[in-house]
Structure 1
Amino acid sequence: MQFNNFDIAAFLQDNWQKKPLFLKNPWTAWDNPLEPDELAGLAVEEGIESRLIIRSKGSWQLEHGPLPADRFDTLGNKHWTLLVQAVDHHVPEVAALIEPFRFIPNWRIDDVMVSFAADKGGVGPHFDQYDVFLIQGAGKRRWQVGGHCNENSALLPHDDLRLLANFEATETFVCEPGDILYIPPGVSHNGIAMGDDCMTYSIGFRAPSRSDLIGHWCDDLLADMQDDDRYSDPGIEEQSNPGEISSRAVDRLHAMITDKIGDRKAFARWFGQYSSTPKYSEMDWKPDEKIEMPALRERLQQGEILSRNPASRFSFIREDTGNSLLFVDGETMICAGDTISFAETLCAQDKVTIDAALADADDVMDLILKLLNHGCLAFDLED
């Protein structure tokens, strides 16, 4: 799918992380990529995160999946919503929705959550800590958009749902199939289905908090620190007051911390691993049978196309050594020579074709073989 009339440069300048934007069906052609029954089928599967939200007599109920297959027969035709997370990991047609949004760096993209709502169904007024594009797949949904919220905003008492206690809409949009509503972080919003068969695709973008970055980065540093790396003060001088912690001591102590935390090169490598860690690391995408190098070369010589696993995260960092670091699913691979351009192409495209020159490069072939046998790449079954 592609955009037909979306000014990306204007959006990034005027709206991204600043203010909402409603786009009236900007696609060259819109086709809803998933049927409600298919979404319901995912919600009953083990290992797939799903939620059912029901509003009844003014109260909100939440059920976590996997849901019983017959649960949907008991819900009625109003006031309920099914939410399924990371549908792009399982349905290629839903994963394709992300491609037009690649003007935002890959490491920021989280997943595609899909919702199906009965008439008047919704999840209640709330705000998110991340950017989100809300794509109307089928049916209609009325979106009410309010002001900015933060951690001090009053919430309704509920153990699992973070719903705003006081919500006042300042704008209202009716989304029909193909329409898109962009909501920046912290902006309150409330979506209500208008009629049956309301499907919405939410493309969310990750935004790590400062506390998460510091906490995880320090955890990684601590794992490699030696206990005998301790404070020392050769050349210490007698103090007039032994109770004082001198500025010289504070400088030494502070340097012990900042010298480690301030290592930008080490941080970059850690962040590449951290940000590329799969959302659901327990999922095993490895092929049933390992691919051997002769079979790999033969299939590539026949022109078969390689596809990235939508559940895998690919990114890279260029180093001042001239090499690139390729990060795939939390693992670091050092790329030099021919593998640099291949790795960077792999991060930019969801499908790649291997030409004869690359097929003759052993280091490239070794990398492809490793990624295939880890389930990060696969041969494109459509070709």
Structure 2
Amino acid sequence: MKKLTLLGDITPEQFLRDYWHKKPLLIRQAIPGFKPLLPFDKLAELATKDYVESRLVTKTTEGSWDMQHGPLKELPARKQREWTMLVQGVNLQDDNADALLRQFRFLPDARRDDLMVSFATDGGGVGPHFDSYDVFLLQAEGQRRWKISAQKDLTLIEGLPLKILKKFKATEEFVLEPGDMLYLPPHYAHDGEAIGDCQTYSIGFRSPSYQELGEAFLQFMADSIDLPGRYADPELEPTSKPAEIPKAMLGKLADELNKVSFTEDDFAIFLGEYLSEPKHNVFFQPLEKPLTAGKFQQSAEKNGVSLSRKTQMLYRGKNVFINGESFAMNKADKATLETLANTRGLNGATVAGASEDVLEALFAWYTDGWLELNK
């Protein structure tokens, strides 16, 4: 496989073998000449929106921490030291940010989370902490000093609005310039401090807990369970302990409930819908005046189509998943839909060769704002 500048002088295979989930990697000039994709004013404007998750972190005069959740209607003065504005999901709001995030598609979309932009004034940061997911920290503007540690003690200070490590002991230190990038595996302690005004882009990869997945899966399967019949005990005998649950009742109910089983297809459909489900603050705007189906098809066959940057499309086996919905693909449509998911678009020739079912789906996704016509 071709080496990516993004990973320095190593291939994606080498990165995954030697670093992913294992140890940090500092990549000098991962993106040479990189500059912020959004100016500060645009970033600050996004932080005022109720559909964009944002936070303002400041150090208090007592040396503690304060955090304010967005929408952020007012920010401290730019000349004030030690404050940080965090804006999540910038890839959902800007095409260039979305394109940057998708440079990391040597990793599965099923693991991709979002692009967070951190703007900080001199001395700003969020304190020593750890993340429960893999993250690439790309310096976009100014400098940031990172201190990192493989320490096992991840005890947090109680009573703070932020998860600050109680005993952080740095073992390595780096100053990142624009274009430099630092990869950190989960639970690797780190502390970043701005040297002058700076912007850092965090490319995160989601890692849901098994508890979270288990609860969601059982909720997902609740409507699929089929256990006919009703409990009965025709052999019931008199008891001298009426408050005790009968052993026979417990055993019979356990036998019946143990008949509930799940297939690999059940897990695949759940996971596909779960991982493609838009976040709570992601909204699609249906077209007010969409083209007719015929006009849409003509335009799509001429110029092709592309998925909206907000759309998450995945597949597994015969099932395809898009924005939390799923359906089974037939063999004739499998190649077309997998191409759309993997390349996030179809050229005109491919659309022209698509089946009626695929064209119908493309048109529905177009009217819902999930898919766009190329110009």
Give the TM-score normalised by the residue count of structure 1.
Answer: 0.86
Question: Structure 1's 356 and 156: CA in aligned 2 closer, same or farther, altered over 3 A?
Answer: closer
Question: Structure 1's 233 and 136: CA in aligned 2 closer, same or farther, altered over 3 A?
Answer: farther
- The residue number in structure 2 matching 1:347 is 341
Mapping for residues 263-274 of structure 1, pairs under 5 Å: 263-274=263-274
Q: Secondary structure at the match of 1:195?
A: strand
Match among 128, 133, 136 for residue 133 of structure 1: 136
- The residue number in structure 2 matching 1:220 is 220
The amino acid that maps onto 1:260 is: V
| CA-to-aligned-CA distance 1:212-261 (integer Å, 9 cap, x gap) | 11111111222344685556799x999xxx99987x98886556445435
Q: Does the 8 Å CA contact 1:116/1:200 hold for their aligned counterparts?
A: yes
Q: Does the 8 Å CA contact 2:333/2:354 hold for their aligned counterparts?
A: no
Q: Does the 8 Å CA contact 1:291/1:372 hold for their aligned counterparts?
A: no
Q: Distance in 2 between matches of 1:98 and 1:250?
A: 53
The amino acid that maps onto 1:286 is: P
Q: Does the 8 Å CA contact 2:57/2:68 hold for their aligned counterparts?
A: yes
> Can you give the 5+ residue segments of structure 1 that lack an aligned partner in the other structure?
319-323
Give the TM-score normalised by the residue count of structure 2.
Answer: 0.88
1:2 Cα deviation after fit? 6.3
Q: Secondary structure at the match of 1:194?
A: strand
Match among 26, 35, 57 for residue 22 of structure 1: 26
Match among 91, 110, 134 for residue 113 of structure 2: 110
- The residue number in structure 1 matching 2:262 is 262
Q: Secondary structure at the match of 2:113?
A: strand
Q: Does the 8 Å CA contact 1:306/1:377 hold for their aligned counterparts?
A: yes
The amino acid that maps onto 2:70 is: G
- The residue number in structure 1 matching 2:357 is 363
The amino acid that maps onto 2:130 is: F
- The residue number in structure 1 matching 2:155 is 153
Q: Distance in 1 between matches of 2:137 and 2:216?
A: 30
| CA-to-aligned-CA distance 1:7-48 (integer Å, 9 cap, x gap) | 211110011111111111123663432221211111112211
1:330 Cα deviation after fit? 0.5
Mapping for residues 58-207 of structure 1, pairs under 5 Å: 58-68=63-73, 71-72=74-75, 74=77, 76-149=79-152, 153-158=155-160, 160-196=161-197, 198-207=198-207
1:156 Cα deviation after fit? 4.1
Q: Does the 8 Å CA contact 2:301/2:351 hold for their aligned counterparts?
A: no
Once the two structures are aligned, what percentage of the paired residues are identical? 33
Q: Distance in 1 between matches of 2:39 and 2:258?
A: 53
The amino acid that maps onto 2:213 is: L
Q: Does the 8 Å CA contact 1:273/1:330 hold for their aligned counterparts?
A: yes
> Can you give the 5+ residue segments of structure 2 that lack an aligned partner in the other structure?
none
- The residue number in structure 1 matching 2:58 is 54
| CA-to-aligned-CA distance 1:284-335 (integer Å, 9 cap, x gap) | 3322223321111121233x232222222110010xxxxx211011101221
Q: Does the 8 Å CA contact 2:284/2:370 hold for their aligned counterparts?
A: no
The amino acid that maps onto 1:63 is: Q
Q: Distance in 2 between matches of 1:374 and 1:274?
A: 20
The amino acid that maps onto 1:129 is: S
Q: Distance in 1 between matches of 2:351 and 2:70?
A: 48
The amino acid that maps onto 1:289 is: K
- The residue number in structure 1 matching 2:305 is 306
- The residue number in structure 2 matching 1:44 is 48
The amino acid that maps onto 1:154 is: L
Q: Does the 8 Å CA contact 2:56/2:85 hold for their aligned counterparts?
A: yes
Q: Distance in 1 between matches of 2:191 and 2:210?
A: 28
Q: Does the 8 Å CA contact 2:275/2:324 hold for their aligned counterparts?
A: yes
- The residue number in structure 2 matching 1:321 is none
1:82 Cα deviation after fit? 0.5
Q: Does the 8 Å CA contact 2:157/2:163 hold for their aligned counterparts?
A: yes
Q: Distance in 2 between matches of 1:331 and 1:40?
A: 33
